[in-house]
């Protein structure tokens, strides 16, 4: 007959050898803490990673935004993966960041990566509404092999399922990972690693909003380690020809949408208002209306570069074949010589065109850049 009660429980507990009980505790406690890495061996010296916070939903709590230091304090188990540093760049919603601030941010990131040999990488926290644009600008202008990781959150700190702390932890893990070097600027949310060039926000509310449609993730941040599956092939970061140190101000480039029977006067008026370049979000593979075609021809003749992209969210808009290149002439809705935006989204084509215009206004040279970047 088996006895029950406090005495039997005490007797049962005495059956465990103290050493065995200690080993059992070491195995069980990490699971109770929901540790991201249970059996991974920790390095004797952790890499140093700096957080640069710009604001956004990730910081947006009632009564005042979280600071960079407070964001770091919110990250569970961070001291297992990195020595964290904090820097407050700004604390506003992402749509309030200006182009001048983009230049300043890129210069600051470059300064830290080149001047701090001990710094393994940088995490930039920003709002998700324009995260893909900020990330792509850094992807083209931070000339370093060291990882720069951009993170954000879809839910604010006071929400029941705040995703900011988890995304920050994943971002720090990627920035601290030596295998992240040379992969360009990375966007890390929802356990997924995407290239700044390829990723887009695809849903206004859902956590799984950031996707690289048609390409897939570069890697993932799993419980045991950071895993990579592929690399992006286009030029970026350390191989970029764009030098923000020599750029005083980014030229104005406007994005205009094509739709059924769209008027072309917005194109001409944008140039009259000071636009140095135009990006058209065309239908399908770059189709534009008759009136827009005439307006494009007019501004192109006056020397304003026009890049044509697709509003569909996928696919390429190639350059129009030029005479004498062994290509058969074909009907096109775009007046030559347009610049094909390749597979870039309209907002990212705008960023590349702005940077291209700091170097040249030659359409063929700009087309080369769109083919390489």
Whether the ω angle into residue 258 lies within 30 degrees of 0, i.e. cis, is: no
The Cα–Cα gap between 191 and 252 comes to 36
> Does the CA dihedral 206-212-213-217 come out positive or negative?
negative
C-alpha angle 349/354/358, rounded to 5°? Answer: 140
Q: How would you class 70 by CB atoms within 10 Å of its CB: exposed for 0-12, middle for 13-18, buried for 19 or more?
A: middle
Residues whose CB falls within 8 Å of the CB of residue 154, separated by 6 or more in sequence, listed in order: 57, 128, 163, 189, 205, 206, 207, 209
State both tokens at 84. 């964290």
The Cα–Cα gap between 160 and 291 comes to 51
- The strand pairing partners of 186, in sequence order, are 149, 195
Q: How would you class 321 by CB atoms within 10 Å of its CB: exposed for 0-12, middle for 13-18, buried for 19 or more?
A: middle
The Cα–Cα gap between 248 and 239 comes to 21
* Phi, psi (deg, nearest 5) at residue 357: -70, -15
Q: In sequence order, which ranges of 1-159 are alpha helices (DSSP H)?
A: 6-14, 18-32, 68-73, 99-115, 131-141
Give residue for tokens 């920035």.
Answer: 175
Known active-site residue 358: no
Catalytic residue among 2, 11, 54, 57: 57
Enzyme catalytic residues:
57
């Amino acid at each position: 007959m088996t006895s029950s009660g406090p005495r039997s429980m005490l007797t049962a507990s005495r059956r465990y050898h103290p050493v065995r009980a200690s080993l059992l505790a070491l195995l069980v406690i990490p699971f109770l803490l929901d540790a991201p890495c249970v059996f991974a061996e920790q390095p004797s010296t952790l890499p140093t990673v700096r957080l640069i916070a710009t604001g956004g939903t990730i910081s947006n709590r009632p009564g005042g935004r979280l600071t960079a230091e407070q964001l770091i304090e919110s990250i569970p188990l961070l001291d297992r993966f990195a020595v964290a540093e904090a820097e407050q760049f700004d604390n506003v919603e992402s749509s309030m960041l200006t182009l001048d601030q983009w230049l300043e941010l890129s210069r600051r990131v470059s300064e830290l990566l080149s001047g701090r040999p001990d710094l393994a990488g940088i995490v930039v926290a920003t709002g998700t509404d324009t995260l893909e644009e900020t990330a792509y600008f850094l992807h083209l202008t931070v000339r370093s092999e060291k990882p720069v990781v951009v993170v954000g959150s879809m839910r604010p700190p006071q929400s029941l399922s705040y995703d900011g702390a988890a995304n920050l932890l994943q971002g720090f893990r990627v920035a601290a990972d030596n295998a992240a070097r040379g992969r360009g600027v990375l966007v890390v949310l929802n356990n997924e690693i995407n290239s700044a060039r390829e990723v887009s926000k695809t849903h206004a509310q859902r956590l799984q909003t950031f996707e690289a449609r048609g390409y897939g993730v570069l890697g993932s941040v799993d419980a045991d380690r950071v895993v990579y599956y592929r690399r992006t092939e286009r030029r970026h970061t350390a191989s970029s020809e764009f030098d923000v140190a020599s750029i005083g101000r980014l030229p104005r480039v406007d994005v205009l949408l094509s739709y059924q029977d769209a008027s072309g006067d917005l194109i001409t008026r944008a140039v009259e208002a000071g636009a140095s370049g135009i990006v058209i979000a065309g239908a399908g593979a770059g189709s534009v209306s008759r009136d827009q075609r005439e307006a494009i021809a007019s501004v192109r003749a006056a020397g304003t570069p026009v890049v044509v992209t697709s509003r569909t969210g996928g696919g390429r808009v190639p350059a129009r074949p030029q005479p004498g290149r062994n290509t058969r002439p074909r009907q096109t809705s775009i007046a030559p010589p347009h610049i094909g935006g390749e597979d870039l989204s309209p907002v990212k084509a705008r960023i590349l065109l702005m940077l291209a215009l700091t170097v040249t206004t030659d359409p063929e040279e700009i087309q080369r850049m769109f083919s390489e970047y």
